[in-house]
């Protein structure tokens, strides 16, 4: 099967990107190099093309209540222009996808993973009532501008953008193009996600990368950045065989929904919130310099496999190997010593809190 091209394909090639197949598309893995791109995002601002992701509109009478039958979020308290992280759940409480859902006027705007979007749409169509309409916005491209200087860059183009708080969005004029901009992202840094019509996305990409703070960033650094930020990647750290509680995503189960249930797998998930799970996703620091990657085994003291590494790599900021793994709940405590096995070699590691590198979101008001 050949890979489809995204709207910015020629734009990436003109900037020297190395392209790889990802989620059925040809996508940029890197431009100048993963390490340099990673550090640039932590210090300045990087532009990511995430147009492979699915952008959906869920509209029609009863959309809010209907969506609540599939997501564990409390949409009744989601204010206009606010977004939250949520999970599309299967009847047994497994994670079908993780996503962002925004209340936007008379509808909900949802961003889902690229590799799972077709399945998500089918699942939504099957399970939402006929009065609720799903529009897959294939004509929209999606960019992410991430890093501490992202706000400076966007504020020079549309000053009002600086007033957005973390997990808040709005419509803004970017050089004559109406864009939906939210203060959100997948790097742990302050930053924005920008939805624009595909036919003008190269102009927006030029506008942003024309600023001295901004460089284009590939998927390689996107992965190492999200790993440092402790953010799970669907299809690797999460799948239909994983529940939100096993995945340590209990925060995605809203208070009212925990009390009332009414979402897929509610009995199991609420039970796990109270009684715990057999395994749990944790962050791991590995001794030495060699990365331990997805697929490595977590071993007990007798050499039995008791868990697995689901994401792992070398942290450019910590200059050390880090990983996410599912381990027995008894070991899911800070400082617990564990052994890992990869290609016949044993590694010593310990459980440490995530994020590995602190988040620097622009949270408004008291606390953080």
Partner 1 sequence: MTVYYTKEHEWVSIDGDTAVVGITDFAQGQLGDIVFVEVPKPGAQVTQGGEAAVVESVKAASDVYAPVSGEVIEGNQALEDDPSLVNTAPETDGWFFKLRLSDNGQLNDLMNADEYKAFVDSQ
Stretch that binds partner 1, among 115-123, 189-197, 285-293, 302-310 (CB under 8 A): 285-293
Binding mask 331-360 for partner 1 (x = CB under 8 A): ------------x-----------------
Task: Single out the residue of 9, 26, 30, 310 in contact with partner 1 (rule: CB under 8 A).
Answer: 30
Stretch that binds partner 1, among 116-124, 191-199, 283-291, 356-364 (CB under 8 A): 283-291
Mode of pairing for the β-strands spanning 54-59 and 133-136:
antiparallel
Mode of pairing for the β-strands spanning 214-216 and 45-49:
parallel
User: Which helix (H) or strand (E) covers residue 156, if one does?
Assistant: helix 150-157
- Distance separating alpha carbons of residues 82 and 59, to the nearest angstrom: 16
Task: Single out the residue of 82, 293, 359, 360 in contact with partner 1 (rule: CB under 8 A).
Answer: 293
Task: Single out the residue of 289, 344, 366, 368 in contact with partner 1 (rule: CB under 8 A).
Answer: 289
Task: Single out the residue of 180, 314, 356, 361 in contact with partner 1 (rule: CB under 8 A).
Answer: 314
Q: How many residues does the chain have?
A: 368
Quote the Cα angle for 109-110-115, to 5°: 150
Q: How many CB atoms lie within 10 A of CB 18?
A: 13
Binding mask 222-261 for partner 1 (x = CB under 8 A): --x-------------------------------------
- Closer residue to partner 1, CB minimum distance, 72 or 220: 220
Q: How near is the Cβ of 18 to partner 1 at its closest, in Å?
A: 9
46 binds partner 1 (CB under 8 A): no
- Distance separating alpha carbons of residues 339 and 286, to the nearest angstrom: 9
**Which pairs with CB-CB distance under 8 Å and at least 24 residues apart come from 355-358?**
355/188, 355/228, 355/229, 355/230, 355/231, 355/283, 356/227, 356/228, 356/229, 356/230, 356/283, 356/285, 356/315, 356/318, 356/322, 357/42, 357/188, 357/228, 357/229, 357/315, 357/317, 357/318, 358/188
Stretch that binds partner 1, among 83-91, 249-257, 312-320, 322-330 (CB under 8 A): 312-320
Task: Single out the residue of 28, 114, 264, 313 in contact with partner 1 (rule: CB under 8 A).
Answer: 313
- Closer residue to partner 1, CB minimum distance, 93 or 220: 220
Helix intervals (H) in 198-310 = 201-209, 219-228, 255-260, 266-275
Reference 272, options 110, 150, 94; nearest CA is 94
368 binds partner 1 (CB under 8 A): no
- Closer residue to partner 1, CB minimum distance, 38 or 226: 38
Q: How near is the Cβ of 223 to partner 1 at its closest, in Å?
A: 8
Q: How near is the Cβ of 289 to partner 1 at its closest, in Å?
A: 5
220 binds partner 1 (CB under 8 A): yes
Task: Give the footprint of partner 1 on this chain (CB under 8 A).
Answer: 29-30, 33-36, 38, 220, 224, 289-291, 293, 313-314, 316, 321, 343
């Amino acid at each position: 099967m050949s890979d489809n091209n995204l709207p910015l394909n020629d734009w990436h090639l003109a900037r020297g990107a190395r392209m790889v197949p990802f989620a059925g598309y040809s996508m940029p893995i890197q431009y100048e190099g993963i390490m340099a791109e990673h550090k640039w995002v932590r210090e300045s601002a990087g532009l990511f093309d995430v147009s492979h992701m699915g952008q959906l509109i869920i509209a029609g009478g009863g959309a809010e209540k209907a969506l609540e039958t599939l997501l564990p979020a409390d949409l009744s308290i989601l204010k206009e222009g606010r977004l939250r992280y949520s999970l599309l759940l299967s009847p047994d409480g497994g994670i079908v996808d993780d996503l962002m859902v925004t209340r936007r006027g008379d509808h909900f705007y949802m961003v889902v993973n690229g590799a799972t979007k077709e399945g998500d749409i089918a699942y939504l169509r099957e399970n939402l009532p006929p009065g609720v309409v799903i529009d897959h916005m294939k004509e929209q491209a999606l960019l992410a501008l991430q890093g501490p200087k992202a706000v400076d860059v966007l504020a020079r183009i549309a000053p009002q953008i600086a007033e957005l708080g973390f997990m808040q969005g709005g419509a803004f004029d970017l050089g004559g193009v109406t864009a939906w901009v939210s203060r959100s992202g997948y790097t742990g840094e302050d930053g924005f996600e920008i939805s624009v019509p595909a036919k003008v996305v190269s102009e927006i990409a030029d506008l942003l990368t024309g600023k001295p703070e901004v460089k284009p960033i590939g998927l390689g650094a996107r992965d190492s950045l999200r790993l440092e930020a402790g953010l799970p990647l669907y299809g690797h750290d999460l799948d239909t065989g994983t529940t939100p509680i096993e995945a340590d995503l209990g925060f995605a189960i809203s208070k009212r929904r925990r009390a009332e249930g009414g979402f897929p797998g509610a009995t199991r998930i609420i039970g796990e919130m109270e009684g715990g799970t057999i395994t749990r996703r944790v962050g791991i620091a590995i001794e030495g310099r060699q990365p331990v990657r997805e697929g490595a085994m977590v071993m007990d003291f007798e050499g039995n496999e008791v868990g697995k590494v689901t994401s792992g790599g070398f942290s450019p900021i910590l200059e050390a190997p880090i990983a996410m793994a599912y381990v027995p709940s008894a070991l899911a405590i800070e400082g617990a010593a564990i052994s890992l096995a990869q290609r016949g070699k044993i590694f010593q590691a310990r459980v440490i809190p995530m994020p590995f590198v602190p988040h620097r979101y622009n949270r408004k008001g008291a606390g953080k």
